[in-house]
Structure 1
Amino acid sequence: MDRQCRVFAAGRESAGNEEEEGLEVRTVNRLSPGNRVREVQVTGTAEVCCPADRASVRVSVGSSKESVSEVTASVSRRLEYILQAVRQHGVSDKDASVRSFLRREADQYHMGAEVVVTFSDFEKMEQACSVLLEKLDRSVCLGTPQFSHSAESLSQMRRRACVAAVENALQKAFEVSQLLGQTLGAPLVVREEETRERRNEEEEDGGRGQDAAPLPRLPCIPTITASSRVSVSFSLRDKSRKRL
């Protein structure tokens, strides 16, 4: 039986903190001992960044009155205005949740309520918050936006990273085949070897000098970076070989 023949062309390249990428060119018996398939195996890596696409804002109101009906009416009017304002800025009812709590202390009834609103349009979020502060003034309290990633955006980011890694592997294999005087054939095996994700946050000082006047800090929009490493095998053909 013919002995399997292997030829290795090793190459390493690195940039920054990226992992080294390997290259292997070999002849293997994929079909039968007498029918050898020449192939090139390469790895490809890629990174894709994705900013947060959701933001939740907590809007709180409260009141103290001598009767339940008075305190309920006071809070309910402001709650209705809040819900109407966010609807006018593109928020659906399913993206706004309301909670309220009533308690009594001595002769006073205290009622607190909060609305948690989830925005997908950050510009409309800023506009809605400005309207609420302008119209309700001190009777409303707005929390700092809490940013997050939807499941759909994370899934799309992972797919984009994998596809980009395969594209990089394809480009590398094509250049190697040209160097070796071969024609790159069809892919034989595509395998995703590793996936990673990391969250990136901005620096605390925002790049401002120590002598600069203090300024209100804008909310930081976090991003997530997904990296993918794939291994791909392609068949090789001699350039001089005629196609059937």
Structure 2
Amino acid sequence: MENQSRVFAALLPGTGRGSAGIEAEQGLEVRAAARHSPAGTRGREVQVAGTAEVCCPADRASVRVSVGSSKESVNEVTGSVSRRLEYILQAVRQHGISDKDASVRKFLHREADQYRMDAEVVVTFSDFEKMEQVCRVLLEKLDKSVCVGTPQFYHSAECLSRLRRRACVSAVENAQQKASEVSQLLGQTLGPPLLVREEETKEWRNEDDEDGGGGQGAAHLPYLPRIPTITASSRVSVSFSLRDKSRKKL
């Protein structure tokens, strides 16, 4: 969606509030502390509503690697599975993946006259190139004795937080640019902001991620994992003070 803005300019004389300075606060709204001019007049203002959209691909992926074995004794089945688990974890470490990003689960049970052990390693990647390298190594070395699942891509909490901030900042930048153009049109100089309020935020998963990018004329490869993207939008309302260009500086 193209950036938009809504502008309302007020050139109203009055009493009780002068030009304002900004006091930084935490949260979505920043209000200005009022200052009274010597003449006691209210400063002129321009009010702008701006919007912006920012898109971001997933920054994390988890891969589930599973192994299993059936043997006549507990020691045999445990040893068989443990050797492959150790190789999987070693391959993960050799590619610079921390142990905290790999979790292991095991389950031992009995099937008729044999013992069955199933185990899985779930690895979280932030580097997708390393993820491809690890999956290739495991498939080449362990072949059919290992099952490497399809990567599951997602957005981390940090990524979503950055996305929301970028959308809000872009909306404010857009509003400031339009307010500056309006002030020039009115023969004024844009002053400091008096009020910044984020009025609406939205997030959605891009539809192209669901339909495989249909309509683009490209054949979809069923085994090629797609990296989902999320778009965040923000709508803000900003008020700026106005100064007359003709006014002499003191």
Band of TM-score, shorter chain = 0.7 to 0.9
Moved over 6 A (4+): none
In structure 2, the gaps of 5 or more residues are: 18-35
Relative to 1, partners in 2 of residues 1:209 and 1:159: Cα closer, same or farther, differing over 3 Å? Answer: closer
User: Match for residue 12 of structure 1?
Assistant: none
Measured after TM superposition, the shift of residue 106 of structure 1 is 2.2
The percent identity for this pair of structures is 77
Number of aligned residues = 227
Q: Output one character per residue of 1:98-156: Cα deviation in whole Å (capped at 9) or x when no partner.
A: 01111112221111100000000000000000000000000000111111111111111
In 1, distance between residues paired with 2:111 and 2:99?
33
User: Match for residue 25 of structure 1?
Assistant: 9
Q: Output one character per residue of 1:40-68: Cα deviation in whole Å (capped at 9) or x when no partner.
A: 00011111111111000000000011110
Asked if the contact 1:30/1:37 (under 8 Å) is kept, the reply is: no
Secondary structure class of the residue paired with 2:247? coil
Asked if the contact 1:62/1:111 (under 8 Å) is kept, the reply is: yes
Q: TM-score of the superposition, structure 2-length normalised?
A: 0.84
| Counterpart mapping for 1:19-98 below 5 A | 21-26=5-10, 27=12, 29-31=15-17, 34-98=40-104
Q: CA RMSD in A?
A: 2.3
Secondary structure class of the residue paired with 2:226? coil
Which among 182, 186, 206 is matched to residue 180 of structure 1? 186
Q: TM-score of the superposition, structure 1-length normalised?
A: 0.86
User: Match for residue 23 of structure 2?
Assistant: none
In structure 1, the gaps of 5 or more residues are: 1-14
Measured after TM superposition, the shift of residue 204 of structure 1 is 3.3
In 1, distance between residues paired with 2:178 and 2:71?
73
Which among 217, 230, 239 is matched to residue 245 of structure 2? 239
In 2, distance between residues paired with 1:133 and 1:30?
74
Relative to 1, partners in 2 of residues 1:103 and 1:220: Cα closer, same or farther, differing over 3 Å? Answer: same
Relative to 1, partners in 2 of residues 1:196 and 1:39: Cα closer, same or farther, differing over 3 Å? Answer: same
Measured after TM superposition, the shift of residue 206 of structure 1 is 4.4
Which among 205, 211, 219 is matched to residue 204 of structure 1? 211
In 1, distance between residues paired with 2:123 and 2:115?
27
User: Match for residue 24 of structure 2?
Assistant: none
Measured after TM superposition, the shift of residue 29 of structure 1 is 4.1
In 1, distance between residues paired with 2:228 and 2:16?
47
Does residue 134 of structure 2 align to residue 128 of structure 1? yes
User: Match for residue 144 of structure 2?
Assistant: 138
Relative to 1, partners in 2 of residues 1:231 and 1:215: Cα closer, same or farther, differing over 3 Å? Answer: closer
